[in-house]
A and B are shown apart, each in its own frame.
Chain A
Amino acid sequence: MKRQGPCECQDQDRNGFENLFMPLHEKRDLQSTGLRSGNIWIFLLGFAFLGASLFLAGCQRQKGGLTVAGSTSVEPFAEVLAEDYMEHHGKEKIFIQGGGSSAGIQAVRTGAAHVGMSSRLLTPQEQDLLAFPIAYDAIAVIVHPANPLRNLTLDQIRKIFSGQVRRWEEVGGKNAAITLVSREEGSGTREAFQHLLMGKSEISLRALVQDSNGAIRQVVSDDPNSIGYISLGLVNEKVKAVGIEGVEATIENIRLKTYKVVRPFLFVFKSEPQDTAKRFLDFVLSETGQKLLVQEGLVSVLPPSPPKHGGKPKGNV
């Protein structure tokens, strides 16, 4: 049998590039040394090794902690809650992961996570799981702060996002083309936007697609001609939320139910929560927990505090 030493393969005769690929004659050599002489066990051993390593990797789950996974819209709020919770419950650990509403719900079902975060209602197929609303979030339609537009009608929003209206002057804005910014298919925010605002109209395929609230905010804050939608809690001074049908997107209007583009944030469990999961949920639904969420721009699930004399414009929960 002809041996192919390592030095012989590197014959730099004309073209150094050939070394990147295994020359044909060497391939033949490999076949004859290995498989022909019946060394299937080597092959099997390789597979067994691979299988074992995959198995071990799969087994590594975080122990001694509560895993909360799901919607990237809920994630930042859950992190705030978890941080506060862990401060007061020294030993317990809570791990917050993103991944998306559907992935979070799936993770709860398979047991990969103890708590799922969802920014949409459960679908009929998911009704076997337990869901607790932890807060309400509004979706704000945002534009660049320099955009003079203050208000859009529902019809205008539909026409803009479905691509029928392509220029700002058609809705009373400046003379420029509209840059649409949307979320990707499957996102809870997109689903809620579609469901709450678009109705049967489709979001235009011409829309730019970004894969997080933050990325949309970034694009909209950079581009004076753009329009997008994000969680009201994440609106900051770099973008401007426009009113819808004359109603401004404020916490007050959400509570008065005049601003209607609102969706629930859910915690999803496989079965009745226990131990850490139960304590965490109780904390989230307590006044302290809800207060944290309100500070972050969400709307509490608790009924507004009883005596409401119109004294303070923004009463705490």
Chain B
Amino acid sequence: MSKEKFLEKGFLLIALSSISILALIAFFIFVEGVPLIWKVGVRTFLLGERWFPSQGSFGIFPMIMGSFLVTIGALIVGVPLGVGCAIFLCELTPRPLAAAVRPMIQLLAAIPSVIFGFWGLMVLVPMIRTYLGGPGLSVLAGSLVLGIMILPTIISISEDSLRALPRTFKEGALSLGATHWQTIWRILLPAARSGIVASVILGMGRAIGETMAMIMILGNAVQMPHSLLDSTRTLTTNIGIEMGYATGDHRQALFATGVILFFIIMALNSLALIFSRKGRG
């Protein structure tokens, strides 16, 4: 076997082993979780609002809604900030300044989520409780923290897609007499749309998957929040908070929660793929 061939096989082996780990994890989650979903009934499991595992009630609807609400909240906070920051870095700031700001954004991505959670718990939650009322542990606190946590994803991918645009787009627009702002708003942003949308979807995936920080600041009540100041529980925090004591059906129900999460994340990633392909044309 030539050296070339040998290396090729070696890398293939490495690639396959990482894929097989994914396959094993998926397999395990499904084997553990799916029987319970069948036992309870897909409808009851997905749309039930009562979660009392010790009494055999397994309804995760409030958590599905909790996940979506917190994620949407995070996007409302994170997308304008993130895309704005990407435009700023790409178009409105001299290169040296951008070069200084970019590592800081990367640093934001490197902060462990437990630190975000701790900061939220110690700073945001008391502020919300004092000035807005309620327990403080709330959808609002969760959305704000998550919004900050997804910023690095949105900024770096949006910036990349803005930078990847051909110079001619900008030059053409400017030479036709468009102002800088018109060029950004009418030409550059629409042209980079697919990349920006994909960055938002990946940010969404990050938001849905976040666990530690959310356990700390959402309050984890199993309820449909009626206001931004109410506590809620997401799919991930349901697993995180209850796994310590769960046995039997309860444990399987947590894996089943994982199955639902798996489908949601897969759907989001497929969406991101579709959008990025579209950009390629």
Question: Contacting B136 at CB < 8 Å: which of A30, A106, A184, A223?
Answer: A223
Range for the number of chain A residues in contact with chain B: 35 or more
Other A-B pairs, 6, CB within 8 Å; known A18-B280, A177-B134: A14-B164, A18-B276, A20-B157, A184-B242, A205-B49, A222-B125
Whether B16 contacts A34 by the Cβ 8 Å rule is yes
Quick check: which of A186-194, A237-245, A284-292 contacts chain B, the rest being far away?
Answer: A186-194
Known A42-B9, A185-B51, A187-B245; judge A209-B220 contact (CB<8 A): yes
Whether B135 contacts A226 by the Cβ 8 Å rule is yes
A222 to B17, CA, bound (A): 48
Chain B, residue nearest A18 (CB): B276
Which 3 A-B residue pairings sit nearest by Cβ, starting from the closest? A186-B245, A16-B160, A100-B245
Whether B244 contacts A208 by the Cβ 8 Å rule is no
Max count, chain B CB within 10 A of own CB: residue among A15, A45, A207 = A15
- Chain A 187-218 interface mask (CB, 8 Å, partner B; 1/0): 11001000000000010011111110000000
Least distance between B79 CB and chain A CB atoms (Å): 16
- Chain A 6-32 interface mask (CB, 8 Å, partner B; 1/0): 000000111111101100000000100
Chain B, residue nearest A226 (CB): B135
Whether B164 contacts A101 by the Cβ 8 Å rule is no
Q: Does B15 contact A (CB under 8 A)?
A: yes
Whether B13 contacts A16 by the Cβ 8 Å rule is no
Whether A179 contacts B135 by the Cβ 8 Å rule is yes
Whether A14 contacts B129 by the Cβ 8 Å rule is no
Whether A185 contacts B164 by the Cβ 8 Å rule is no
A288 to B250, CA, bound (A): 39
Q: Does B236 contact A (CB under 8 A)?
A: no
Q: Does B84 contact A (CB under 8 A)?
A: no
Chain B, residue nearest A188 (CB): B245
Max count, chain A CB within 10 A of own CB: residue among B9, B135, B192 = B135
Least distance between B252 CB and chain A CB atoms (Å): 13
Q: Does B21 contact A (CB under 8 A)?
A: yes
- Chain B interface helix/strand/loop/mixed: helix
Q: Does A246 contact B (CB under 8 A)?
A: no
Q: Does B137 contact A (CB under 8 A)?
A: yes
Whether B245 contacts A101 by the Cβ 8 Å rule is yes
Least distance between A36 CB and chain B CB atoms (Å): 12
A188 to B247, CA, bound (A): 12
Q: Does A72 contact B (CB under 8 A)?
A: yes
Least distance between B272 CB and chain A CB atoms (Å): 8
- Chain B 239-253 interface mask (CB, 8 Å, partner A; 1/0): 001101111001000
Which residues of B have CB within 8 Å of A219?
A: 135, 137
Which residues of B have CB within 8 Å of A100?
A: 244-245
Q: Does A39 contact B (CB under 8 A)?
A: yes
| Interface hits, B151-165 → A, CB 8 Å | 157, 160-161, 163-165
A98 to B129, CA, bound (A): 32
A207 to B199, CA, bound (A): 35
Q: Does B213 contact A (CB under 8 A)?
A: no
Question: Contacting A223 at CB < 8 Å: which of B129, B166, B245?
Answer: B129
Which residues of A have CB within 8 Å of B250?
A: 185-186
A301 to B231, CA, bound (A): 40
- Chain B 1-39 interface mask (CB, 8 Å, partner A; 1/0): 000000011001101110011001000000000000000
Least distance between B91 CB and chain A CB atoms (Å): 16
Q: Does B113 contact A (CB under 8 A)?
A: no
Max count, chain B CB within 10 A of own CB: residue among A101, A185, A202 = A185
Which residues of B have CB within 8 Å of A207?
A: 221
Known A106-B247, A184-B242, A202-B52; judge A14-B166 contact (CB<8 A): yes
Chain A, residue nearest B8 (CB): A33
Chain B, residue nearest A46 (CB): B17
A34 to B20, CA, bound (A): 15
Which residues of A have CB within 8 Å of B51?
A: 185, 205
Chain B, residue nearest A209 (CB): B220
Which residues of A have CB within 8 Å of B160?
A: 15-17
A258 to B69, CA, bound (A): 47
Which residues of B have CB within 8 Å of A43?
A: 16, 20
Chain B, residue nearest A183 (CB): B245
Which residues of A have CB within 8 Å of B165?
A: 14
Whether B164 contacts A209 by the Cβ 8 Å rule is no
Whether B13 contacts A185 by the Cβ 8 Å rule is no
A155 to B17, CA, bound (A): 59
Q: Does B75 contact A (CB under 8 A)?
A: no
Max count, chain A CB within 10 A of own CB: residue among B51, B163, B192, B242 = B242
A225 to B137, CA, bound (A): 13
| Interface hits, B216-260 → A, CB 8 Å | 219-223, 231, 233, 241-242, 244-247, 250
A97 to B42, CA, bound (A): 36
Whether B273 contacts A15 by the Cβ 8 Å rule is no
Which residues of B have CB within 8 Å of A34?
A: 12, 16
- Chain A 138-150 interface mask (CB, 8 Å, partner B; 1/0): 0000000000000
